[in-house]
Amino acid sequence: MFTYKIDEELSLKLIESKDAQEIFELTDKNREYLREWLPWVDITNKVEDTQNFIKMSLNGFVNRKSLDVVILYKGKAVGIVGYNEINNVNNIAYIGYWIGSDYQGKGIMTRSTKSIIDYAFNNLGLNRVEIRAAVENTKSRAVPERLGFTNEGVIRSASFVNDKYYDMVVYGMLADEWNIRETENR
């Protein structure tokens, strides 16, 4: 299975069926916090819903169409980061993520996202990584901004959550930009 150690306290691992209970409990504990921006929260009401998500995720991984990894902080599952979609024709990965509210402000999501971007460019040979976040979701937007992504504009009414449409900011990073940036930061 896919595992990647980021540092002494943080690692990523491919989501597995055995993670269903822990991921569901994390989702359930953070339900009100997560549902503000994530439409899937309201249809994740039992462990079986999380198991179905994991099956879909593993199928996407096998077919090289997506990749969802569990973020482990000090050995405990604290969130998910991954490629919601991999477009193999155009060599683009679309990143999505979420984290439990107790784990914000520790740099966990930025470090995890940075690692999955490295993997996209250096292991999968992709050319572009894209992150989208609601204009009002400043916490989610802060991740690509900290990582040096280009704000490429706003797509109007691109997300429907809690009976409301949200405009989405599109952030993009190209492989050559990332490699220059990483070389300069060494």
Q: Domains of the chain (ranges plus CATH)?
A: 3-184 (3.40.630.30)
Q: Is the pLDDT of residue 114 over 90?
A: yes
The whole-angstrom separation of Cα 133 and Cα 71 is 19
Which pLDDT value is given to residue 2? Answer: 62
Average pLDDT over residues 113-126: 96
Model pLDDT for residues 155-182, shown as the tens digit of each residue: 999 999 999 999 999 999 999 999 998 8
Q: What is the pTM (predicted TM-score) of this model?
A: 0.94
Helix, strand, coil tally for the chain in percent (to 5): 40, 35, 25
Angle at 137 between CA 133 and CA 143, to 5 degrees: 65
What count of other Cβ atoms lies within 10 Å of the Cβ of residue 181?
12
Which pLDDT value is given to residue 33? Answer: 94
Model pLDDT for residues 1-54, shown as the tens digit of each residue: 567 899 999 999 999 999 999 999 999 999 999 999 999 999 999 999 999 999
Mean pLDDT, all residues of the chain: 95
Joined tokens for residue 75: 């050995």
Which pLDDT value is given to residue 1? Answer: 54
Which pLDDT value is given to residue 117? Answer: 97
Average pLDDT over residues 104-131: 96
Which pLDDT value is given to residue 4? Answer: 87
pLDDT-derived band at 88, boundaries 50, 70, 90 = very high
Closest to 114 in 3D by CA, of 135, 99, 136, 129: 129
Which pLDDT value is given to residue 186? Answer: 72
